[in-house]
């Protein structure tokens, strides 16, 4: 997992609480500091009076007769047409349901016993179907671990009881705060309370003996475990009762050469052995004990051979006279004798025939090796020189078929490897016997480690040409005598609006250029000119519309030009395209609105107009244009929207503009308010307000200190897509309220606890009026972990073992001012590997660490120098921390600082693609 530096507070009895926040509604006491003058309520200025019946009748009588007639006019209310439905990809089935009696099939009886037997059919051996995560190294925040079996592990009624998975032998080491829960009857998941801590190696273990499914099957094997034998036991299960001896007569076994083994070479397994070996299949139902046959082989099978089990036709049943009419077969293979299949480097390999001096060699076998049988003494390398050539033998479980040879080889030498026969074994117990007649294992070492690359210069590209077309913006008529300039070269357009600029090649290695067109007082500039080259005749389209954004029932005008660019020699000559264009108009949901044709005029131009229907779907519509003869096409897009002006405007504000800091014991709060105002005047009162507040860790660089590193950073050489920095996100908090008579609503965000990094809190308010119109407004603020920040920078991008690594460190306040006399604590942790030999002489690499703790006092004049001497070669993680007067902590860290010069495990570019690689950016 991705390591995470964590500061340890040794001088405190108990750790302070971690950062957390909550939401509450602001009260009147919080509102006192917002403003000194409170606006009077709108209702205070109104003198409300209850009208009598006579006064109401006099008021209604003032309405004109025309208004009364209009109100009583019997007209249908306006209703917009239903929006066009999304096209369906399925077909409409016209068959009525339920189907008519004539089309129904005849009823048939269902046997309950048959259904029970079908439900109890064997489901196979219990295995682990999948698990997550399945990566060896995790570079993201991990919160869950999931394990799925192929059979139910608990009953459905036990899901609510939360059966402890540890009863099934499932455990996670080391333990993490959290709980196990069953997602379904086959899947169990561990959910961490927060997340899995970084810099920790976790192991998810399953005890095969204790892991029993709900139907009584024991876990047979774990992932990547291999089970094999040369005397397999075969089990055939039928769907009905059979006579074992009769079926045994119809079984024959054929191996790779087409040779059929005689039936006398097979033998039936006794009932006890069969029930013990195939217990799960036989326990599915009682009748299974009369529906199977189990047999094995009397003699060992041939190695590296494919065998086929045949069950011939005419096999009898014990339940009736009918016999099978077809033949049934199944295949299996036996393992091969232990042998070497490849080595590296290999002179016969086109990709890697040689290696440099000192680079490791490797040999690959066809079977996995028995690690306990590998000894350094059985390997011999010739020629034997004054210096020892064979330095070590390495074998790991990850690559169980591969042996790596560490050496002290010399340049321009061919080395021959021999292995003592009869000692090296594979997991099947076979010993390695080197055939002297086979090709010897030889490693060719070249003269130098550094490859030499030759330089071959070809003919330089000729200066290109640029062709420009200038037309009138309103009419599209070509403009002649216009000046076109690019790269300090100018040309005039002809009557067709065309001009070609020769020797158009940038002086610098850049892609973007600026094209300028001038005529009279008109000036046009086109930026970001990218060069392109075409080798075939192509059609070039230029399509545009009059507005780009349209309402339903509005007209859309689209105009376009089509040019045929012909390649004649080294020239590209544009000509006017001719023909008829087919076009299809579609709405944003791909519903076809119209299909038509348009003919190109003599200038290769076209112009179309269409009206959007009232019930068109909103979004991005498009028109597909196609020249049928030339197979050239293009698509033009436009927007369809309803222009609904909001009736109100929203805003938000944070009451205080001061800086906010974490506090270990005292609760602090920030008041945020939102407001809605009507465009017609007045406030949006009694409107629903939905608040969403979210906090996450972030980075903060004080003013004018961008040349130093603040927060978390890591070496560019270790950076990849999987090594992205993960911010800590806190759970979202929701709050709902209503605006007051001033259109305002306030909340109080209460926070407490400390964090080692700055926290950004974002508050978003969604205000909805009576017409269900919703508008959002938001504010965010920063909570500093400490009154001070510590920043650093390295003098060199990498270090060397045994030589001082120098860093420049500063302590500033939030405004970037240097602070004096602040203690800076530095924690250095180095990770390397130490080469050793085990009891068999095999080379192993043990992980070792180098931990150092340094202190230095800051200065308000300049950066202070802090040096540390790395004792290992490998990667180092460094953290710098400071505290303010209240004990709050601020930290900056650097991960994977590379230090060379140590005994790192060598990683060769092996040609067998077994090496795990990283995709670096």
- Using 50, 70 and 90 to split pLDDT, how confident is the model at 530? low
pLDDT of 171-223, one tens digit each? 888 888 888 888 888 888 888 877 777 667 788 888 877 888 887 787 765 65
Sheet of 402-407, strands arranged across: 340-344, 361-365, 402-407, 390-394
- Using 50, 70 and 90 to split pLDDT, how confident is the model at 107? low
The set of residues, in sequence order, having a beta carbon less than 8 Å from that of 492 and lying 6+ positions away, is 480, 481, 482, 483, 484, 499
Contact present, 389 and 436 (Cβ < 8 Å): no
How far is the C-alpha of 334 from the C-alpha of 543, rounded, in Å?
A: 67
Q: Which residues pair with 516 in a beta bridge?
A: 485, 525
Of residues 209, 204, 301, the one with CA closest to residue 259? 301
How far is the C-alpha of 856 from the C-alpha of 821, rounded, in Å?
A: 9
The set of residues, in sequence order, having a beta carbon less than 8 Å from that of 703 and lying 6+ positions away, is 815, 816
**pLDDT at residue number 46:** 40
**pLDDT at residue number 448:** 66
**pLDDT at residue number 531:** 59
How far is the C-alpha of 699 from the C-alpha of 781, rounded, in Å?
A: 13
pLDDT of residue 754 exceeding 90 = no
Q: Which of 128-132, 402-406, 653-657 has the highest mean pLDDT?
A: 402-406
**pLDDT at residue number 241:** 86
Q: Could you give the domains of the chain?
A: 128-206 (2.60.40.3710), 233-333 (2.60.40), 352-445 (2.60.40), 464-526 (no CATH), 538-629 (2.60.40.1930), 648-784 (2.60.40.10), 789-900 (2.60.40.1930)
pLDDT of residue 570 exceeding 70 = no
pLDDT of residue 317 exceeding 50 = yes
Burial 153-187 (b: 16+ CB within 10 A, else e): bbeeeeeeeebebeebebebeeebebebebeebbb
The set of residues, in sequence order, having a beta carbon less than 8 Å from that of 797 and lying 6+ positions away, is 715
Contact present, 783 and 761 (Cβ < 8 Å): yes
**pLDDT at residue number 33:** 43
Q: Residue 755 phi/psi, 5° resolution?
A: -145, 155
Q: Where are the alpha helices (DSSP H) in 63-111?
A: 65-71
**pLDDT at residue number 38:** 35
How far is the C-alpha of 407 from the C-alpha of 387, rounded, in Å?
A: 10
The percent of residues above 90 in pLDDT, for the chain, comes to 21
Question: Strand ranges (DSSP E) for 4-65?
Answer: 20-25
Of residues 197, 182, 195, the one with CA closest to residue 148? 182
Query: What would the mean pLDDT of 678-686 be, rounded to a whole number?
Result: 88
**pLDDT at residue number 47:** 44
Taking CA 798 as the corner, what is the angle to CA 796 and CA 801, rounded to the nearest 5 degrees? 115
The set of residues, in sequence order, having a beta carbon less than 8 Å from that of 240 and lying 6+ positions away, is 291, 317, 318, 319
The percent of residues above 70 in pLDDT, for the chain, comes to 79
Burial 736-763 (b: 16+ CB within 10 A, else e): ebebeebbbbbbbbebbbbbbbbbbbeb
Burial, 789: exposed, middle or buried (Cβ in 10 Å; 0-12, 13-18, 19+)? buried
pLDDT of 475-489, one tens digit each? 778 899 999 988 778
Dihedral angle over CA of 116, 121, 125, 128, nearest 10: -60
Taking CA 676 as the corner, what is the angle to CA 673 and CA 682, rounded to the nearest 5 degrees? 125
Q: Locate tokens 């390997």: which residue?
A: 379
Six-digit token pair at 324? 């099978």
Q: Residue 251 phi/psi, 5° resolution?
A: -100, 130
User: Pairing between strand 441-445 and 354-355?
Assistant: parallel
Six-digit token pair at 165? 């998975």
Sheet of 580-586, strands arranged across: 549-550, 632-640, 619-627, 580-586, 592-599
pLDDT of 33-43, one tens digit each? 443 333 333 33
Is the pLDDT higher at 49 or at 524?
A: 524
pLDDT of residue 721 exceeding 50 = no
pLDDT of 876-898, one tens digit each? 999 999 998 888 889 999 988 88
**pLDDT at residue number 59:** 74
The set of residues, in sequence order, having a beta carbon less than 8 Å from that of 493 and lying 6+ positions away, is 468, 470, 478, 479, 480, 481, 482, 484, 499
| Per-chain mean pLDDT for the chain | 79
Six-digit token pair at 904? 């790192």
Kind and range of the H or E run holding 274: helix 271-277
Query: What would the mean pLDDT of 640-663 be, rounded to a whole number?
Result: 85
pLDDT of residue 605 exceeding 80 = yes
**pLDDT at residue number 287:** 54
How far is the C-alpha of 268 from the C-alpha of 298, rounded, in Å?
A: 10
Is the pLDDT higher at 286 or at 717?
A: 286
How far is the C-alpha of 428 from the C-alpha of 228, rounded, in Å?
A: 8
Six-digit token pair at 812? 């500033």
Is the pLDDT higher at 728 or at 199?
A: 728
Contact present, 425 and 370 (Cβ < 8 Å): yes
**pLDDT at residue number 694:** 92
Q: How far is CA 521 from CA 72, 517, 596, 882, in A?
A: 63, 11, 41, 64
pLDDT of residue 539 exceeding 90 = no
Six-digit token pair at 138? 């995790």
Six-digit token pair at 859? 């200065």
- Using 50, 70 and 90 to split pLDDT, how confident is the model at 836? confident
pLDDT of 553-568, one tens digit each? 999 999 999 988 887 6
Chain length of the chain: 921
Query: What would the mean pLDDT of 643-652 be, rounded to a whole number?
Result: 83
Query: What would the mean pLDDT of 35-64 be, rounded to a whole number?
Result: 56
Query: What would the mean pLDDT of 456-463 be, rounded to a whole number?
Result: 53
Q: Which of 210-214, 252-256, 282-286, 739-743 has the highest mean pLDDT?
A: 739-743
pLDDT of 781-820, one tens digit each? 999 999 999 999 988 888 888 899 999 999 999 999 999 9
Contact present, 425 and 446 (Cβ < 8 Å): no
pLDDT of residue 524 exceeding 80 = yes
- Using 50, 70 and 90 to split pLDDT, how confident is the model at 699? confident
């Amino acid at each position: 997992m991705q390591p995470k530096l964590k500061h340890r507070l040794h001088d405190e009895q108990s750790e302070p609480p971690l950062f957390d926040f909550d939401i509450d509604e602001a009260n009147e006491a919080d509102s006192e500091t917002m403003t000194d003058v409170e606006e009077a309520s709108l209702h205070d200025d109104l003198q409300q009076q209850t009208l009598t019946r006579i006064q109401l009748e006099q008021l209604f009588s003032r309405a004109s007769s025309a208004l009364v007639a209009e109100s009583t006019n019997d007209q249908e209310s306006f209703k917009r047409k239903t929006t066009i439905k999304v096209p369906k990809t399925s077909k409409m089935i016209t068959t009525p349901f339920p189907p008519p009696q004539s089309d129904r099939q005849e009823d048939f009886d269902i046997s309950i016993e048959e259904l029970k037997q079908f439900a109890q059919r064997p489901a196979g051996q219990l295995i682990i179907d999948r698990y997550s995560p399945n990566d060896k190294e995790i570079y993201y925040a991990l919160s869950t671990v999931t394990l799925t079996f192929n059979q139910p592990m608990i009953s459905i009624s036990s899901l609510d009881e939360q059966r402890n998975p540890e009863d099934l032998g499932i455990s996670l080491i080391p333990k993490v705060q959290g709980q196990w829960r069953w997602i379904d009857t086959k899947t169990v998941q561990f959910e961490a309370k927060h997340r899995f801590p970084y810099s920790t190696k976790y192991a998810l273990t399953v005890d095969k003996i204790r892991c029993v499914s709900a139907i009584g099957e024991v876990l047979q094997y774990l992932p990547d475990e291999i089970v094999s034998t040369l005397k397999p036991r075969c089990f055939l299960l039928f769907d009905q009762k059979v006579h074992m001896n009769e079926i045994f007569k119809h079984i024959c076994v054929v191996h790779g050469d087409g040779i059929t083994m005689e039936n006398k070479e097979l033998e039936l397994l006794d009932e006890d052995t069969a029930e013990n070996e195939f217990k799960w299949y036989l326990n599915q139902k009682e009748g299974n004990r009369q529906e199977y046959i189990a047999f094995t082989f009397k003699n060992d099978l041939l190695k590296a051979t494919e065998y086929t089990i045949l069950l011939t036709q005419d096999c009898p049943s014990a339940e009736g006279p009918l016999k099978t009419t077809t033949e049934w077969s199944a295949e299996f293979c036996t393992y091969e004798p232990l042998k070497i299949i490849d080595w590296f480097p290999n002179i016969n390999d086109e990709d890697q025939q040689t290696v440099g001096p000192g680079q490791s060699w490797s040999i690959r076998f066809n079977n996995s090796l028995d690690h306990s049988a590998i000894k350094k003494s059985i390997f011999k390398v010739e020629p034997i020189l004054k210096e020892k050539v064979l330095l070590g033998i390495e074998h790991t479980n990850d690559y169980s078929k591969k042996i790596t040879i560490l050496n002290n080889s010399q340049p321009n030498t061919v080395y021959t490897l021999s292995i003592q026969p009869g000692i090296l074994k594979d997991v099947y117990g076979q010993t390695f016997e080197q055939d002297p007649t086979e090709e010897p294992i030889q490693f060719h070492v070249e003269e130098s480690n550094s490859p030499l690359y030759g330089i071959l210069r070809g003919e330089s590209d000729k200066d290109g040409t640029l062709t420009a077309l200038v037309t009138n913006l309103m009419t599209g008529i070509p403009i002649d005598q216009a000046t076109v300039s690019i790269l300090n070269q100018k040309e005039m357009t002809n009557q067709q609006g065309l001009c070609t600029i020769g020797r158009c090649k940038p002086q610098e290695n850049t892609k973007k250029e600026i094209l300028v067109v001038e005529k009279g007082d008109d000036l046009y500039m086109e930026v970001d000119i990218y060069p392109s080259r075409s080798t075939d005749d192509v059609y070039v389209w230029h399509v545009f519309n009059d507005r780009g954004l349209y309402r339903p029932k509005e007209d859309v005008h689209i105009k376009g030009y089509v040019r045929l660019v012909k390649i004649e020699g080294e020239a590209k000559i544009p000509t006017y395209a001719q023909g008829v264009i087919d076009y299809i108009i579609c709405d944003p949901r791909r519903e076809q609105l119209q299909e038509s044709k348009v003919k190109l005029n003599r200038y290769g131009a076209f112009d179309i107009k269409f009206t959007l229907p009232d019930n068109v779907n909103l979004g991005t519509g498009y028109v597909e244009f196609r020249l049928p003869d030339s197979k050239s096409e293009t698509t033009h897009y436009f927007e369809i929207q309803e222009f609904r002006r909001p009736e109100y405007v929203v805003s938000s504000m944070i009451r205080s503009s001061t800086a906010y800091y974490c506090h270990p014991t005292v609760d602090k709060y920030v008041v945020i308010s939102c407001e809605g105002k009507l465009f017609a005047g007045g406030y949006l009162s009694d409107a629903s307000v939905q608040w969403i507040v979210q906090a996450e860790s972030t980075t903060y660089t004080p003013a004018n200190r961008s040349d130093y590193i603040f927060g978390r950073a890591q070496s560019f050489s270790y950076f990849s897509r999987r090594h992205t920095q993960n911010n800590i996100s806190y759970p979202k908090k929701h709050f709902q309220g209503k605006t007051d008579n001033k259109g305002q609503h306030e909340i109080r965000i209460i926070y407490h606890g400390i964090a080692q990094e700055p926290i950004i809190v974002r508050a978003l308010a969604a205000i909805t009026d009576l017409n269900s119109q919703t508008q959002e407004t938001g504010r965010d603020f920063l909570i500093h972990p400490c009154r001070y920040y510590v920043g650093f920078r390295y003098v060199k991008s990498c270090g060397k073992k045994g030589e001082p690594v120098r860093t420049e460190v500063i302590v500033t306040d939030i405004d970037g001012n240097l602070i004096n006399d602040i203690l800076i604590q530095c924690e250095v942790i180095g990770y390397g590997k130490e080469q050793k030999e085990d009891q068999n002489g095999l080379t192993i690499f043990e992980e070792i660490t180098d931990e150092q703790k340094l202190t230095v006092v800051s200065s308000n004049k300049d950066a202070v120098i802090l040096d540390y001497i790395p004792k290992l070669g490998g990667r180092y993680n460094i953290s710098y921390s400071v505290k303010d007067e209240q004990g709050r902590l601020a930290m900056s860290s650097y991960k994977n600082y590379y230090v060379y010069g140590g005994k790192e495990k060598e990683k060769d570019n092996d040609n067998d693609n077994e090496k795990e690689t990283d995709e670096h950016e």
